[in-house]
Every structure is written in structure tokens, then in C-alpha cells.
Amino acid sequence: MSKKLKIGLFGFGCVGQGLYHVLKNSTGFKADIVKIAVKDKAKLRTVEPSLITYNKWEILENPEIDVVVELIDDADEAFQIVSEALRRRKHVVTANKKMLAEHLEELYHLQYEYNVSLLYEAAACGSIPIIRSLEEYFDNEELKKVSGIFNGTTNYILTKTLTENLTYQEALCQAKDKGFAESNPVNDVEGFDPKFKAIIIALHAFGLIIKPSGVLNIGITTLQEIDIKYANEKGYKIKLTPHIHHITRDKVSVFVVPSFIKSQNHLFNVDNEFNGVIVEGKFSGEQFFQGKGAGSYPTGAAVLSDISALSHGYKYEFKKYTQNQILSFSNDVILEVYFRYNSPNDLQYLHFEEITEKYSSDSYYYVIGKIHLEHLIGYREYILTNNLFISLINERVEISNDEKLKKSFKKEFQIF
């Protein structure tokens, strides 16, 4: 029989209120929220005043509370709360993807040291149970890739700009009004949010702990009407897509860039605030998951799923991480991209390995070509500062010439 849990909740914003609602209306699972810690004393709350506290220690030092649910915006404060809760042998559920991505290694060791569980399904792709699927279904299968749409805010904006001809700013305002975007949407629109999620997923899919600073993220802030026009003419949709690719026997690449998506791709019809995840296994082939990636109730439901799992003693086993002996992170890959720029001088900065198409006009230029991922990382700020736009045009990722030579050499001499 499952244990009825006592919960200490940090944060009562969009997701916190969603959790409160789905918990109160759940017919299959019961738990008690003992205290809710918030910061703003002037803000009116929709719960009984006795539940509210402004002192985090009322939760962390309460022996009655056995589960801490962390749903605040501040990643640094979230880490302090989560790490302290684990040290006090309280189980933790969190949706803070930035905090997790920046502290995965410390948190991994803390939960084992204090024999408690840290669950974070809601931090990955909203209502899609991707972490649990990787942990339970794909735990012993070698994966080729995990990719998709991991951010409901940008997907909503891109859907509205492409299908309803809204401007970027109009679509962003709509996303804010519907609760899909924060008042400061930088993490979403610049691609940090899906990068953090990709880093979390890479741990469970490939057994890697990757530092966020090494992963490229280019968002949609420089998207212009001419880029949308190009996509429409070619029959593409534009999506912001994280890619986690097993590129060689011992290398995995991770990056986040906009992509031109073809109609035969599973992601083509994933619109508005929905997320989609493609998992390709060596033996099972391609699997596709779709669900809401933003919003109070869907994310609250994902948090509740973790709380319910805790009542049955569930923990992540991290099998891929404990078994990994050879895989490491690498940016040594070639991408085929569309690059829209303002003047011929811009093209001189980005050294393409190969250009297959080139267009010029009085107002703008673009090329289709192949470029090294490391080079994009080096010129990321130049691209953003000068309002240039880059989009993946082919989802296949090639290893660089150096890696091809190494692979060929090893094969010839049977090193592995």
C-alpha cells in the first residue's frame, strides 16, 4: 500500500497552483500539502493563510514533511533548497531545469549519499514522461538519438508567426497572456530552456553529465519575415529543436538550433504549446512522444506523477550513467544549415566547409551549406548581435573530417 505523503511546497506561481489544483482534484492519489513557502508578502493567495509561510526553514526543519516540491524561478536559490532538503533526508521533486543542468553531478551524488530520491519529470518536456521512459523502457538499449521540440513557449510563437502571420512580438505577447511565457522570456526564446532539458535527457539517454557552457544554443530572437517566407515557399515549418546524437562509437553531440522541418517529420504537426520527442533506438527503431509542454495543469500533472511515484518508493536508477565506460561529449560535427545574413562581410566570418546554394538581393543574402558546430559556437554572439539567422536544414549530423579519419583508421587497424 502506498504511503500518504506530507508535502512542503516552494513556490506558488503558475506550476505551483497547477499542482495544487490537480492534487485537490485527483481521484487516484492523495497527499497533503503541509506548507507553501513564498516570497511576496503583498500578493494575494487563493489558499488558506495558514498554509503560507515566508520562512523556508518552516519546511526544511519540519520532521513531518517527507517530500519537498521545489517550483521557484531562481535557480541558485532552488539549488540551496534542494540540496539542503536532500541532506535532511527528504525526498525532492523539482521542475527547475536550469538548476538541474548546472548541478547534475552534485545532486546525483547527494541523493545517493543520503539515500533519498530526486525526481524531475516536469523539468524535461512538460506532460511527456520522457525521463521515466528512458529510465524504464530504454534503460538497456543503445540509442542513436533523442531530438524534438522541448519548449512550448517558442513552439507557440513559431506556430502563430507561420500559420497566422502574427509578428514575433504579437505572438510573444499572446504566449505571455496564456501563461506559456514568463515576463522575461529570455531562457525560452534564446534556447537556454531546451538546452537545459537536453542536458538532463542526455544523462538518462546516454549516461553523460554535460556542462551547459559547452552546448550551443541559438534561439528564435533573430527570426525575420524573410526567413518565414523562405520556409513557407519550401513547404517547411520552423521549430526550435534540441539534438542529442550518438555520432561515433564513443562520442555524443548536443546542440539547440532552429530547424526547417519537412512534412514527413513527426514534428511537423506538433504546434502551439505542444512538445514532441523522437527517440531512436538501435533495435527498437524510432519512437515518437507528444504532449503539452507548457501550462499550469500539464506541468502540475507531471509534478504530481513524480510525487505519486515517490509514494511507491520510486528512484531513478541512472543505469546508463553507471554503465557508461566510453561515451563522452563532443562538438566535432558538421551541420547543414540555412544562413541568412545582411552583407557579404558577414559570410567572411562564418567559414563554411561547403556551400550548395547562394542567394543575394538588395536587402538580404542567404546560403545553404555545411559548417562545423565548433565554428557556430565561436560566432554565436556575432550571429545574435548582428541579427543574423541560422537554421538546420538537414537533420542528419555528420562527423567532421578529422573524426572520419580517426574512425577509418581505427576500423582499418581493428582498434575496436
Query: Which residue's entry shows cell 545574435?
Result: 384
Grouping H, G, I as helix, E, B as strand and the rest as coil, residue 109 is helix
**Residue 380: exposed, middle, or buried by beta-carbon count in 10 A (0-12, 13-18, 19+)?**
middle
Grouping H, G, I as helix, E, B as strand and the rest as coil, residue 326 is coil
Residue 182 Rama label (left phi>0; alpha psi -120 to 50; beta): beta
Q: Which helix (H) or strand (E) holds 22?
A: helix 14-24
Amino acid identity, residue 250? D
- What residues contact residue 11 under an 8 Å CB cut-off, 6+ apart? 37, 38, 70, 71, 72, 73
Helix 192-206 to helix 97-113 angle, to the nearest 10 degrees?
A: 30
CA dihedral 273, 307, 209, 125 (to 10 degrees): -10
The grid coordinates listed for 171 are 505572438
Closest alpha carbon to 17 in 45, 41, 42: 45
What would you report as the CA-atom Rg of the chain, rounded to the nearest whole angstrom?
22
Query: Which residue's entry shows cell 536559490?
Result: 77
Q: Is 406 a catalytic residue?
A: no
Active-site position among 90, 97, 195, 197: 197
List the end-to-end C-alpha distance of the chain, in Å, as a whole number.
49
CA 276 to CA 124: how far, in whole Å?
11
- What residues contact residue 21 under an 8 Å CB cut-off, 6+ apart? 296, 297, 300
Contact 294, 156 (CB under 8 A): yes
Contact 223, 301 (CB under 8 A): no
Distances (CA, A) of 325 to 127, 201, 210, 240, 348: 32, 18, 15, 32, 41
Closest alpha carbon to 396 in 243, 267, 230, 276: 243
Q: Would you name the residues annotated as active-site residues?
A: 197
